[in-house]
A = this chain, B = another copy of it.
Amino acid sequence: MPIARVTRRVHFCAGHRLHNPDLPDDVNRDTYGLCNNPSGHGHNYDLEVTVEGEVDPVTGYVMDLKRLKALLESRVLGDVDHANLNVDVDWLSGLVPTTENLAVAIWGRIESGMSDVRLVSVRIWETERNSVEYRGG
């Protein structure tokens, strides 16, 4: 059977502040610049999740995208959409909400929900200009 990759792109909007409480304030300002603004800011995030698997000869699907959509809604979007990533999301607790940390955490939220397919990429566009991709490992 051919192996193909299926990508689902979803959107969410969230607030965040980049700040590591273990660092002095001036180091936080130097490291995060405008993103360290004490009252926070936010983004429209684009999240692209890619899975890989055999194309089922009966259905012609690698994975029913309704299932992937439902998994993303229950495990990710329900928590992060219209939320503040610093305070509202328990599975981000203790992390500076950079796009890198967010991508790794989202991978952890959804990998166990995969059956018959393999998660190969979690990519997040924080703005039209900046993105992070995590491929596991």
Number of chain copies forming the complex: 6
Cβ–Cβ contact B8 & A100, under 8 A? no
Residues from chain B with Cβ under 8 Å of A132 in the complex: 4-7, 62
Cβ–Cβ contact B133 & A7, under 8 A? yes
Range, interface on chain A? 35 or more
Cβ–Cβ contact B59 & A20, under 8 A? yes
Min CB gap A40→B, angstroms: 5
Residues from chain B with Cβ under 8 Å of A42 in the complex: 13-16, 40-43
Chain A residues with a Cβ under 8 A of chain B: 2-11, 13-16, 18, 20, 22-23, 31, 33-35, 37, 39-44, 50, 55, 58-62, 64-66, 81-84, 86-88, 95-101, 103-104, 127-135, 137
